[in-house]
Structure 1
Amino acid sequence: MPAQEAAGHGAAARRGAVPMLDTYREVLTPEGVSLHLPAAGPVPRALAWLVDLAVRAAIVLALAMVLGVLGGLGEGLYLVGLFLVSWAYPIVLEAAWNGQTPGKRALGLRVVAGDGAPVGWLPAVVRNLMRTVDMLPFGYATGLVACLCDRDGRRLGDLVADTVVVHVLPRPAGVQLSPTVPRAPARRLLPDEQAALVAFGERASHLSAGRQAELAALLYPLTGSAGDEGVRRLHGIAAWLLGRR
């Protein structure tokens, strides 16, 4: 019964239930691999924002102390610095630092595009300029309502820029197999078949043992084997195609 209840809650979240807890966003890559992005809810995002607020406040305080001795020139430079800290800080860091600000990194979050790709400069600019709307009428009330209504916990800036804030998951350790020995394919492979095997070799370390076995079964016509032996043959042929001889 507990498992059934948990499954029911998960299904409700996928159907668009209010994301008070973190949910998963499913994305299908062009290679046909299904990615499950752990979308962050409003609580960890708010905590990350508070960390960034503290960092920016420290920067502004340091600028005030250093530039205060320069009189009118220092005041002008301080205003420029205040503008940059307020607006350039999140844009530059998200676009150039793997979708993370110090607050997001501290909370294990990052901003990605809606399809799971790294966020670019234009989406970073759009989502942060939209903060002026998400802040209304006060205390990010509009952004909070949008997060609670969206199944992926996105505020208006994320919806407009097609971005989503996700948890950073640890890299999988990979599947432990015997040392790969390059193997020449038993027959001449078509370009599409070669591309499929090379893609397997490049992505295998990020796939579970079960997924590798599933792919080995699908590629049985190319290897003549399935199961563990099929996986080893796929690794060997992929290594041969990649020139690891």
Structure 2
Amino acid sequence: MPSTSTPKRKTALQTPLDTHYRVETPEGIDLPLRPAGLPVRAVAFAIDLGVRGVLLGALLSGLMLLGKLGLGLGSIVLFLVSWWYMVLFEVLNQGRSPGKQMMGLRVVHDDGTPIGWPASLTRNLLRFVDMLPFGYFLGAISCLQHPTFKRLGDLAGGTLVVYREQALLRPSLPQATPRAAPFVLHLAEQRAILSFAERQGDLSAERTQELAALLTTPLGVPASRAATELNGIAHGLLGPL
């Protein structure tokens, strides 16, 4: 009797979706970047548009008091704010215009390095193409179709708008003089001591003393000093600030 095999059921998605963009540094380290999509970029652009409007309104109102001279100067100001606002902020403020900064975004090169003058000029001068035929239609279509949400200016400039990663803060430890442990600590033990020091703000004084007293014998100190000794060892493990 011929054997029959049950066909394997195929799932719709073999691998989970991943919106991270990875670049490899010269040291061979993968640098994960998270591209920003169209909605958050549109909000950032709207904020920048409002900032530019307020800035232009204030400057032009003052220049109009100068008559014809003010009219000429106003044309120059209008050009500078319209075309150089984004470029100056992106290059001089780590890829962040005020709108991008408020939304937690920044512009980088495709390899993750900070954006420079040529790339910023290219991506911003091509905004008029992204605006065609109206309302940033081409730019929006390009963002929606591209895997890393690039508009035409980004494609030409070799740039990418990504979420700005939050800086990691060092844990806050109780004040103590850094010292070395009187015995060899394995990795798990180092982590346990650091975790004990970090969590003291959430523990009562009695619970802190109770936990620290478990190590009075190996530490060679009385129970009343065990917590202070452990805090000093934790500072020693972290090194100088």
Match of 1:120 in 2: 116
In the other structure, the counterpart of 1:105 is 101
1:224 aligned residue:
none
In structure 2, distance between residues paired with 1:133 and 1:68: 32
Residue in structure 2 matched with residue 53 of structure 1 by the alignment: 49
Deviation at 1:173, TM superposition (A): 3.9
CA 1:140–1:180 in 2, change beyond 3 Å: closer, same or farther? farther
1:137 has 2:125 as partner: no
Q: Which residue of 2 aligns with 1:32?
A: 28
Q: Using a 3 Å threshold, how does the CA distance of structure 1 residues 69 and 115 change in structure 2: closer, same or farther?
A: same
Count of aligned positions? 170
Give the letter for the 1:134 counterpart. D
Structure 1 position 7, deviation (Å): 7.8
List gaps (5 residues or longer) in structure 1. 14-22, 182-235
| 1:73 to 1:180, Cα distance in 2 relative to 1, 3 A | farther
Deviation at 1:64, TM superposition (A): 1.9
Structure 1 residue 36 displacement after superposition:
0.8
Residue 25 of structure 1: how far off its partner (Å)? 0.7
Residue 154 of structure 1: aligned partner: 150
TM-score w.r.t. structure 1 length? 0.64
Q: How far did residue 8 of structure 1 move?
A: 3.6
Mapped partners of 2:67, 2:14: distance in 1: 64
Shift of 1:171: 1.8
Describe the superposition over 1:2-61 as per-residue Cα deviations: whole angstroms up to 9, x where unpaired: xx9998441xx5xxxxxxxxx211111111110110100011100000000000000111
Match of 1:233 in 2: none
Q: Distance in 1 between matches of 2:57 and 2:72?
A: 15
Say which one has the larger Rg. Answer: 2
Task: Answer yes or no: is 1:42 the counterpart of 2:38.
Answer: yes
| Structure 1 runs, 4 residues or longer, greater than 6 Å off | 4-7
> In 1, Cα distance between the equivalents of 2:64 and 2:13?
58
**Residue 169 of structure 1 pairs with residue 165 of structure 2:** yes
Alignment of 1:175-186 (within 5 A): none
Q: Note if 1:96 corresponds to 2:110.
A: no
Over aligned residues, Cα RMSD in angstroms?
A: 2.7
Q: Which runs of 5+ in 2 are unaligned?
A: 1-10, 173-177, 181-236
Letter in 2 for 1:77: L
Cα distance in 2 for residues equivalent to 1:65 and 1:56? 14
Residues in 2 aligned to 1:26 and 1:5: alpha-carbon distance in whole angstroms: 25
Rounded to whole Å, the distance in 1 between the matches of 2:85 and 2:112 is: 23
Aligned CA distance change for structure 1 residues 169 and 6 (closer, same or farther; 3 Å): farther
- Amino-acid identity (%): 43
Cα distance change on mapping 1:146 and 1:79 into 2, 3 Å: same
State the AA in 1 paired with 2:49: L
